[in-house]
């Protein structure tokens, strides 16, 4: 993919994200909350795994 195509993909993704936040702020907030919660859970699981290694 060329640099121009990557630029259009980034612009399109940003426009879609902005549209989603404007049209459904509750849904966007829930998506961010779920994403951060998932990352926190993954970090906690990784921490327990590393702690369990003898």
pLDDT tens, per residue, the chain with 54 residues? 567 788 899 999 999 989 988 999 898 889 889 999 999 999 999 999 999 997
Secondary structure class of 53 (helix, strand, coil) = coil
Q: For residues 54 and 20, give the distance between their C-alpha atoms in angstroms, rounded to a whole number.
A: 47
Domain segments of the chain as ranges: 25-54
Per-residue tokens: 49: 């795994």
Alpha-helix runs per DSSP H in 1-54: 3-23, 25-52
Per-residue tokens: 54: 């003898």
User: What is the pLDDT at residue 2?
Assistant: 67
CB 37 within 8 A of CB 29: no
CB 21 within 8 A of CB 28: yes
Task: Look up the pTM and report it.
Answer: 0.56
């Amino acid at each position: 993919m060329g640099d121009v195509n990557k630029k259009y993909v980034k612009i399109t993704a940003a426009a879609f994200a902005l549209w989603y936040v404007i049209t459904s702020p509750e849904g966007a907030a829930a998506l961010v909350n779920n994403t951060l919660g998932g990352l926190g859970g993954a970090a906690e699981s990784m921490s327990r795994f590393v702690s369990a290694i003898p």
